[in-house]
Amino acid sequence: MPEVRTWQLAAGAAVAGLALAAGAVAAAGPWDSGQRKAEKERAAARSPVGGAHHGTPRRQAPAPAPSAPGVLAALGAPANATAKAAGTTPTDLAKVLAPLLGDPGLGTVRTACVVDLATGRQLFGLGVRQPMTPASTIKIATSVAALSALGPDHRIPTTVLASKDARQLTLVGGGDASLDSAGLRTLADRTVRALRERGVASVRLAYDTSLYKGPVRHPIGPNPNIAPVSALMVGEGRYDEKSTGPAGRSPDPAGDAVRAFARLLGERGIASSPAPAPGRAADGSAPLAKVLSVPLSALVERALTNSDNDIAEALARQTALATGEEPSFEGAGRAVTKQLAGLKLPLTGARIADGSGLNRDDRLTAGLLTALLARAADPAHPELRPVLTGLPVAGFSGTMESRYSRTSPGTGLVRAKTGTLTGVNTLAGTVVAPEGRLLAFAFLAADTPSKEAAQPALDRLAAALAS
């Protein structure tokens, strides 16, 4: 793999997982100085987990002070530690990682890459250029592409268009997979207010999902980990919007959304008939009301922290729309690939078949995953920073909450995107080494016997980098 560019990270960025005063740790757990408030609040509220096989039961967060000995110890490490310090030289890493990579829980094929983000130097590699099924770690690639194409401040609209006499409304999906019931109520409130100003008390209601193209069903088929990919949905098409992890999904999320909107209009005194039907807005229609998603930076963090498949697919299609590709599975794959190529990343052997990683035809290399993380750490690309802040914190948040014990050396120091399909287990992220250096790593395993065997083996690999 070509050597990653050398980037000297500022002190706060180079120890992103370390910027924790002892008092802050005791009060809030290991949140780094770059952690976005939105992500912290979501993790505290235990937002729904959307990734394949990533659903975890709710549990009490670990007690902050006992959970942070590794963090506090690392804070005491010399700030000017060199790459020759024990544990981060290629020879030392090979001695530590090679036996762990031999764990039978990692199946018959495994690849690995470790890069020092302060120097860009590859410290360890095994099959670095070998394409592997990445599972949900592909969300790192999807996120980098979306942020580079659209920017972190981009917001996705859901709009109500009205005919000239405001008696025909069309609910237009813009692709906001994060739209929830609260957002739909806000849209109804704004719509009713505008209609009353025009003296309108009854309307004909239609809905438009034409923004997206191609099949709405993911190639995996009906699956509790993802809804049909529609430009219009509420609560990710879940029958129970408050559910977490894999859950029952509607086969018609757009129809459900417009029917819920019609009910909200009725509750506010605006009758709508006949039943809402799909269709385009009438000629001459103009925007009547609109709601916007949270910024793309927050959507990326949510997709990564919770392994949210619905949002990941939306990010891929938004990338396609921004780059002139068809917003379909195939078009989004082309768009993501082109964006990554524009960032001069090592794409040999890569295949982007979807945005979420549910498709087994996806292929990434360990070298590409670490290069993606290195780009996100590059001060020349601040727009990519949410890729790092969105990574779940070991023992504390998202799909990494239950993966480390309170006493594990990786707790609070490992931040990683998990990937899990039957027979495929992956882990890619960042870790703070004992001397305070920030490393990027990617471990991919295939033909694994079970996630119960593979996940602990992967966690031991990441923890070894921190111990």
Q: What is the pLDDT of residues 398-443, one digit of tens each?
A: 999 999 988 888 999 999 999 999 999 999 999 998 888 899 999 9
Q: Per-residue pLDDT for 85 more than 60?
A: no
pLDDT of 406 reads 81
Q: Tokens 């694994």 sit at which residue? A: 448
For residue 202, the number of C-alpha atoms closer than 13 Å in the C-beta half-sphere is: 5
CA atoms within 13 A on the CB side of 159: 17
Q: How far is CA 362 from the centre of its chain?
A: 16
- Which of 328, 275, 330, 282 is closest to 172 using CA atoms? 282
**pLDDT the model gives residue 467:** 83
Task: Give the residue extent of every domain in the chain.
Answer: 11-152+298-466, 157-293
Please say if 307 is a catalytic residue: yes
CA distance 153 to 267: 34
- Answer yes or no: 139 catalytic: yes
CATH code assigned to 157-293: 3.50.80.20
Q: Is the pLDDT of residue 82 over 80?
A: no
Distance, in Å, from the CA atom of 226 to the CA atom of 345, rounded to the nearest integer, reads 29
> Among 230, 293, 307, 408, which one carries the catalytic annotation?
307
Does residue 274 have a cis bond before it (omega within 30 degrees)? yes
Compute the average pLDDT of residues 154-171.
97
Q: Would you state the pLDDT for residue 54?
A: 55
Set 139, 338, 417, 451: catalytic member:
139
**Averaged over 240-259, what is the pLDDT?**
93
- Of 2-11, 98-107, 305-314, 326-335, the poorest mean pLDDT is in 2-11
Q: Is 243 one of the annotated active-site residues of the chain?
A: no
- Domain at 11-152+298-466, CATH from 3.40.710.10, 3.40.718.10, 2.40.30.270, 3.10.310.30: 3.40.710.10
Q: Given the residues 67, 136, 163, 178, select the one marked as catalytic.
A: 136
State percent of the chain over pLDDT 70.
Answer: 81
Among the listed residues 251, 208, 252, 250, the one whose alpha carbon sits nearest the alpha carbon of residue 231: 208
Q: Which residue has the higher pLDDT, 200 or 437?
A: 200
